[in-house]
Chains A and B, each alone.
Chain A
Amino acid sequence: MDYAIDIKEQEALVRLTGRLTFNDHAKLRALIKEMLQNAAKRQILDLANLEFVDSAGIGMLLIAREELSNLDKQFILRKAGGQVKRVLTVAQLGKLITIEE
């Protein structure tokens, strides 16, 4: 998995590419720390170019949501498609994290 962050005023847009699995734990920790440190109140994860996510990836997204909510920051998942959308649905992540088309 790779990511790029684009910050505009109150919004940080993070574009994820590739596959998000447990093997990305070090990168995910770095990403969460960046999202905690930047000034934007809304942290949006753009999943349009994410090809695959596993249960560990879902767990790491929940950790991001929890850590961001501790700092009163909003966490939003956007544009999931294909396998990623299906896994988010099966894991019922919409009950815990805001998911936008």
Chain B
Amino acid sequence: MSAADNHIVARASPASRIAAFIGVLLLIGLIAAPWWAGRADMRLISEICLYVALASLWNLLAGYAGLVSVGQQAFVGLGGYFLFAATIFFGVPPLAAIPLAAAAGAALAVPIAVLIFRLRGAYFAIGTWVVAEVFRLVFAQVSALGGGSGTSLPAGIVKGIAASRSLREAYTYWMALGLAVLVVAMVYMLLRSRRGLALTAIRDNELAATSLGIDIWRTKFFVYVISAALTASVGALIFLQKLRISPDAAFSVNDWTAFVIFIVVIGGIGTIEGPIIGTIIFFLLRETLADLGTTYLLVLGFVAIAVMLRAPKGLWGYVKDKTGVELFALTRRVVPKR
């Protein structure tokens, strides 16, 4: 009898089953938010959802594929401008522009990847930032979209989403929630797949990965294009909620990359749970310290330094190392058959 006959390979654990159950309850509660939450609360939850999506995508890039980009604002801004251009010039319904923004993001990510994948490490990071700055400067030249000072979404288009303001807000809220769920689910499914196994191997050891048949360039390229596409969708939704866009807001390295890096690093890079936990901590800090002005940014800096010194793998990485708990069932465990 071979070993395969008396062992099975399992993935779910009690912790992951409980987490899935709580996750579903939480999701039902959040879907129903327009009936129980106030407008300010829904706005905040939307923002949290959009940051969960951005952070999960950046984590996929940096934490798994080793692509430390500081230029993801290129795709946030691109998505935002795509929404404005598609709705104003081509009459595309705003909610339809959000998935289309993903296609635009992917289409642009392909040539950018071919170009910047020639760079390594810190040079890659700087390269991505340069690309984002080029985007910002280019969009500042488009006078039809307001040039450097930006433009607002015309009232007619806004009304086209839904007649009443509350329904409109409910739609964009559900879109934000849906995008966050879609991104986390995509990351989860990807990491569970064969390609995800390759990606995790690349995260741990590129030399061994390439020697075991993994095409590192193609794997990274795939991840880069997927994240760019979804980041552009998130960007489109962000600016659909803001109703106003300008190059400085759209391609802000602070808002769309620096905060996202903070979130992933304190939450736990290279884990699915990390970006979610990091986002919650980020918003807790922001909501409690927002009145302090610049002191708030100082506190963020101190928190980041403290976490990096005390728990270099982030808060979730620390918990995972201590307890082995996993909320998203990824690890395959070999269990003897009874």
Is B a genuine binding partner of A? no
Tell me the A residues contacting B by CB distance below 8 Å. none
